[in-house]
Chains A and B, each alone.
Chain A
């Protein structure tokens, strides 16, 4: 997980002081404490781990609230912490505001047995292809997605390529059966 850099190099980016949450996080903590399972502030970036049942509500709020105005979904990407880890998968949502120019990362963590996340295509339509890519590479299923198909790999592909237990190299030619 994210932590402060351990080396003693000079850090040009001022990191937020430990114990003093940013105004954005403080406001969220006051109004919707149930949305914030964990807050990590490191490398001058804020990460909020959101329970998945509150994801869509939190996203809609962050998009429309005049203090946050995260109207631009920059990126969604999955990550695999490792085969033994539980929760194993995480889905990162990188939010950006075109007016306030600040950024926020939302994170949803998932166990291997239950890789369902509600879709945010209803909040930002750009999430469509991001979610398809995450489904393709990690097998994360986005409930309610309008068109959840593989996007980079063929439809007949077996497995999810960016999982840690998927091999880098194969020795048999891929053929369409």
Chain B
């Protein structure tokens, strides 16, 4: 234990008479707990002495369900975990299975994966920004954010058919190629997006109330952040330059030109600034990915794993047989275990997949970044005012679907 949470000495539990302390239950219906999080707060006046998160209200046993579904059926479950970043979940799951299978993914599919994931990251950050500002009391930002998010959801819907649960990635590539006119619509969105980010800055960054509510609140040092396993923008907000896209590149991220934004302060404001800057970096990556789109296949050349084209099934007997076998029996995955981490919108999203050689996984475990980030909430919240707990939860950007799984 290198450093205990810093509580000012006047608020030590032992030295105060019991009747000045009060335990309240915040949530699970509290609107600022982003779902069904319950916090047990021990208060001394307005000061938080102890915060204990209580989770599990949304537990649906997804990890159990994976073991009863074929590999390709598991993709649909991943959508429901972090429902603000479903494409990231699809990607982590599919790439873990692809690592076990040793599949090589065509260039076009890789580029589209990067493009869609960055759009999804922007959409996820927009929900965070809107709700975070709403928690603190700025309502207008919410509408501006959801206006932009709507455009991204329309793009995702055009590509996959789904808005919230796209299931667009498949083991071995994509469900289908991008529709006609997608590139034009995507370019239209990206051209206007940087202006929208400037609008968000105008609304919030210069606002004195917002600054006072966030600066110096919910601090966590870089050493503590690493020790508590924080990842993603929460870790970079403490000044640690770590991004899985750079550290363990996948999908060809090493060839894209982007910065990893970091802020040294480790408070709510720093995490806010990191995400605001990340949206611009994601925009940069998406523009590069769009310019790299070349015609080609979006599915790996593995007929026993990847579903054949509809047209091929009408003319080729073997395509029809493969289709039938994949749908009815699934495909066997070589025995072994892998852990595949990606940089989700909230941090390190890792999928541990263990195969025993059959068509269903033996064990799938998801390292949900929200789960770990939330576990560090007491470190940030203890010693703060009760009203700031809302700001701190907002700055962690948690999604309870992923925490409870």
Q: Point out residues on A near B: beta carbons under 8 Å.
A: 1-7, 9-13, 42-43, 45, 47, 71-75, 77, 79-81, 92, 94, 96, 98, 101, 103, 105, 122, 124-126, 128-130, 133, 137, 150-154, 161-162, 166, 168
Complexed CA–CA distance, A5 and B302 (Å): 15
With contacts A75-B352, A152-B56 taken as known, whether A129 is within 8 angstroms of B104 at the C-beta atoms is: no
Contact B65 A2 (CB under 8 A): no
Complexed CA–CA distance, A3 and B248 (Å): 23
B358 at the binding interface (Cβ < 8 Å): no
B101 at the binding interface (Cβ < 8 Å): yes
Contact B226 A71 (CB under 8 A): yes
Complexed CA–CA distance, A3 and B104 (Å): 19
With contacts A10-B102, A153-B59 taken as known, whether A45 is within 8 angstroms of B338 at the C-beta atoms is: yes
Contact A153 B367 (CB under 8 A): no
B354 CB contacts on chain A under 8 angstroms: 79
Q: Which residue of A lies closest to B372 (CB)?
A: A126
B269 at the binding interface (Cβ < 8 Å): no
Q: Which residue of A lies closest to B224 (CB)?
A: A125
Complexed CA–CA distance, A47 and B371 (Å): 24
Q: Which residue of A lies closest to B376 (CB)?
A: A126
B55 CB contacts on chain A under 8 angstroms: 151-152
Contact B375 A128 (CB under 8 A): yes
With contacts A152-B56, A168-B65 taken as known, whether A47 is within 8 angstroms of B337 at the C-beta atoms is: yes
A73 CB contacts on chain B under 8 angstroms: 229
Type the 1/0 row for B330-346, where 1 means its CB is closer than 8 Å to any CB of A. 00001111110100000
Complexed CA–CA distance, A133 and B302 (Å): 37
8 A-B residue pairings within 8 Å (CB atoms): A3-B336, A5-B334, A6-B334, A11-B102, A79-B362, A126-B372, A162-B64, A168-B64
Q: Which of A13, A73, A152 has the most CB of B within 10 A?
A: A152
Q: Which residue of A lies closest to B101 (CB)?
A: A9
Q: Which residue of A lies closest to B403 (CB)?
A: A152
Main secondary structure on B side of the interface with A: mixed
A42 CB contacts on chain B under 8 angstroms: 336
Q: List the count of A-B residue pairs having beta carbons below 8 Å apart.
A: 126
Contact B64 A161 (CB under 8 A): yes
Complexed CA–CA distance, A80 and B228 (Å): 27
Complexed CA–CA distance, A75 and B368 (Å): 9
- Interchain CB contact (< 8 A) of A12 among B104, B242, B335: B104
Q: Which residue of B lies closest to A11 (CB)?
A: B102
Give the size category of B's interface with A: 35 or more
B61 at the binding interface (Cβ < 8 Å): yes
A168 CB contacts on chain B under 8 angstroms: 61, 64-65, 68
Q: How far is the CB of A50 from chain B (nearest CB, A)?
A: 16
Complexed CA–CA distance, A103 and B250 (Å): 15
B185 at the binding interface (Cβ < 8 Å): no
- Beyond A3-B336, A43-B336, A79-B362, 18 additional contacts (C-beta under 8 Å) are A3-B335, A7-B334, A9-B104, A10-B104, A47-B337, A71-B226, A74-B339, A75-B352, A77-B352, A79-B365, A94-B352, A122-B1, A124-B227, A126-B375, A152-B59, A161-B61, A162-B363, A166-B64
Q: How far is the CB of B77 from chain A (nearest CB, A)?
A: 13
A3 CB contacts on chain B under 8 angstroms: 334-336
Complexed CA–CA distance, A124 and B2 (Å): 10
B371 CB contacts on chain A under 8 angstroms: 129, 133
B405 CB contacts on chain A under 8 angstroms: 152
Q: How far is the CB of B40 from chain A (nearest CB, A)?
A: 13
- Interchain CB contact (< 8 A) of A43 among B68, B100, B227: B100
B335 CB contacts on chain A under 8 angstroms: 1-3
A13 CB contacts on chain B under 8 angstroms: 99, 102
Type the 1/0 row for B359-381, where 1 means its CB is closer than 8 Å to any CB of A. 00011010100011001100000
B404 at the binding interface (Cβ < 8 Å): yes
Contact B102 A12 (CB under 8 A): yes
B228 CB contacts on chain A under 8 angstroms: 125-126
Q: How far is the CB of A1 from chain B (nearest CB, A)?
A: 7
Q: Which residue of A lies closest to B54 (CB)?
A: A151
- Interchain CB contact (< 8 A) of B367 among A45, A75, A166: A75
Complexed CA–CA distance, A73 and B354 (Å): 19
Contact A5 B372 (CB under 8 A): no
Complexed CA–CA distance, A2 and B55 (Å): 34
With contacts A5-B101, A43-B338 taken as known, whether A162 is within 8 angstroms of B65 at the C-beta atoms is: no
B367 CB contacts on chain A under 8 angstroms: 74-75, 77, 94
Complexed CA–CA distance, A130 and B350 (Å): 14
Q: How far is the CB of A142 from chain B (nearest CB, A)?
A: 15
With contacts A3-B335, A3-B336, A153-B59 taken as known, whether A43 is within 8 angstroms of B99 at the C-beta atoms is: yes
